[in-house]
Amino acid sequence: MEDLIAYIARSLVDDPSQVKVTKRVSGGTTVIELRVAQEDTGRVIGKGGQVANAMRSLLRASGDGKGSRVVLKII
Protein backbone atom coordinates (compact mmCIF):
# COMPACT_ATOMS: atom_id res chain seq x y z
CA MET A 1 0.00 0.00 0.00
CA GLU A 2 2.80 2.42 0.86
CA ASP A 3 4.50 1.79 -2.47
CA LEU A 4 1.31 2.62 -4.36
CA ILE A 5 0.86 5.94 -2.56
CA ALA A 6 4.56 6.81 -2.96
CA TYR A 7 4.43 6.05 -6.69
CA ILE A 8 1.36 8.22 -7.23
CA ALA A 9 2.76 11.09 -5.14
CA ARG A 10 6.14 11.03 -6.90
CA SER A 11 4.34 11.22 -10.24
CA LEU A 12 2.46 14.36 -9.17
CA VAL A 13 5.04 16.51 -7.36
CA ASP A 14 7.86 18.73 -8.60
CA ASP A 15 10.38 17.34 -6.08
CA PRO A 16 9.98 13.54 -5.80
CA SER A 17 12.89 13.29 -3.35
CA GLN A 18 10.72 15.00 -0.70
CA VAL A 19 8.03 12.28 -0.79
CA LYS A 20 8.00 10.20 2.39
CA VAL A 21 5.42 7.52 3.20
CA THR A 22 5.12 5.85 6.59
CA LYS A 23 2.69 3.23 7.86
CA ARG A 24 1.38 2.74 11.38
CA VAL A 25 -0.99 0.00 12.50
CA SER A 26 -3.14 0.55 15.55
CA GLY A 27 -5.76 -2.06 16.32
CA GLY A 28 -7.83 -2.56 13.18
CA THR A 29 -6.77 0.76 11.65
CA THR A 30 -3.82 1.34 9.33
CA VAL A 31 -2.65 4.95 9.08
CA ILE A 32 -0.57 5.87 6.06
CA GLU A 33 1.13 9.26 6.34
CA LEU A 34 2.21 11.00 3.16
CA ARG A 35 4.69 13.85 3.50
CA VAL A 36 5.58 16.07 0.57
CA ALA A 37 7.25 19.45 0.18
CA GLN A 38 5.00 22.30 1.29
CA GLU A 39 4.70 23.71 -2.24
CA ASP A 40 3.57 20.31 -3.55
CA THR A 41 0.79 19.74 -1.02
CA GLY A 42 -1.85 21.26 -3.29
CA ARG A 43 -0.89 18.97 -6.16
CA VAL A 44 -1.28 15.88 -3.99
CA ILE A 45 -4.62 17.02 -2.55
CA GLY A 46 -6.00 18.20 -5.90
CA LYS A 47 -8.84 20.55 -6.70
CA GLY A 48 -11.61 19.93 -4.22
CA GLY A 49 -9.64 17.02 -2.75
CA GLN A 50 -10.20 14.85 -5.81
CA VAL A 51 -6.67 13.43 -5.99
CA ALA A 52 -6.56 12.67 -2.25
CA ASN A 53 -9.98 11.01 -2.42
CA ALA A 54 -8.88 8.92 -5.39
CA MET A 55 -5.81 7.72 -3.46
CA ARG A 56 -8.04 6.86 -0.49
CA SER A 57 -10.32 4.85 -2.80
CA LEU A 58 -7.33 2.92 -4.13
CA LEU A 59 -6.23 2.17 -0.58
CA ARG A 60 -9.68 0.82 0.29
CA ALA A 61 -9.68 -1.33 -2.85
CA SER A 62 -6.20 -2.70 -2.15
CA GLY A 63 -7.03 -3.52 1.50
CA ASP A 64 -6.64 -6.93 3.01
CA GLY A 65 -10.34 -7.73 2.64
CA LYS A 66 -10.82 -8.28 6.37
CA GLY A 67 -12.68 -5.03 6.88
CA SER A 68 -9.72 -3.21 8.37
CA ARG A 69 -9.80 0.56 8.11
CA VAL A 70 -7.14 2.44 6.12
CA VAL A 71 -6.61 6.16 6.70
CA LEU A 72 -4.48 8.44 4.49
CA LYS A 73 -3.04 11.54 6.14
CA ILE A 74 -1.38 14.10 3.92
CA ILE A 75 1.10 16.18 5.88
Q: Which fold has domain 2-74?
A: GMP Synthetase; Chain A, domain 3 (3.30.300)
2-46 residue pLDDT tens: 999 999 999 999 999 999 999 999 888 889 999 999 999 999 999
Q: Tell how strand 20-26 and strand 29-35 pair up.
A: antiparallel
pTM (global) more than 0.85:
yes
Strands 69-74 and 29-35, by their bridges, are parallel
CA-closest candidate to residue 45, choices 72, 20, 24: 72
Q: Is 5 exposed, middle or buried (0-12, 13-18, 19+ CB in 10 A)?
A: buried
